[in-house]
Structure formats: structure tokens, C-alpha cells
A = this chain, B = another copy of it.
Amino acid sequence: MGATKTEHFSSKVNAIAALAKAMGHPARVAIVEHLLKVNGCICNDIVNELPLSQPTISQHLKALKEAGIIQGEVEGNSICYCINPKAIHKLEAYFGKLSSKLNTSNLNCCT
């Protein structure tokens, strides 16, 4: 026990959960926000923006990258990280679909 039983769930459900999990930490949300603010890339300035150590930030960047939320390229001396719009769009599409289904359904309990 202790490990998530991903094998029992559909790949669609696992895919959404993996994306949501990656966004499930304030540091990672803050990284995405920062990437959006600087309109493109992180080149060495993210460490100064967040109240976390460099190894911790590197770890969070890795988690975001492995989930497909961001993508990175070596850019000379530093690394260029930016948001992968497709991943964000998947989340938007999923929650958007949920929202619209909720609007059309008659939730006649728990109100």
C-alpha cells in the first residue's frame, strides 16, 4: 500500500489527474504564473522570484516538465523553459466540459 493504484483507472482519468497533480503545488502554480508574466521563458531569474532554494525549484521544474506542463531547451549558459499551451488547453477543455455538463444537469440535491 501507499502507492497510487493508477493501473485500475482509465488512461483519460489518469492523464487528467497527472496534469492536475502537477498544478497541485503552489510553487508550481507560481512558476507557471511567472512564465506567463515574463511572456515566454525562464532564463535564470526564477530562483530570485520564489522563496525556495535552487534545488527545490529545479525539482519543481522537473515535475512540471515531466507532466508536460512546461517544455525546456538548453539556451547557451542557461535553460529556456516555457509553458506548453497544449497541456493548459487540455485542463481548460476538461474543466470546461465538466462545467457545461453541470449547467445542463438538474442537480436536485445537495443545494
A22 to chain B, nearest CB (A): 8
Query: Considering the chains assembled together, what is the distance between the CA atoms of A22 and B72 in angstroms?
Result: 27
Which residues of B sit under 8 angstroms from A96, Cβ to Cβ?
Answer: 92, 96
Q: Which residues of B contact A51 (CB under 8 A)?
A: 5, 8-9
Q: How many Å lie between the Cα of A24 and that of B70 in the bound state?
A: 17
**In the assembly, what is the distance between CA of A89 and CA of B52, in Å?**
30
A86-100 interface (Cβ within 8 A of B):
88-89, 91-92, 95-96, 98-99
Query: Which of A40, A72, A81 neighbours the largest number of chain B CB atoms within 10 Å of its CB?
Result: A40
Chain B residues whose CB sits within 8 angstroms of the CB of A5 once the complex forms: 26-27, 51-52
Contact residues of A with B, CB < 8 Å? 4-6, 8-10, 13-14, 16-18, 20-30, 32-33, 36, 39-41, 50-52, 71-73, 75, 80-83, 85, 88-89, 91-92, 95-96, 98-99, 101-103, 105-110
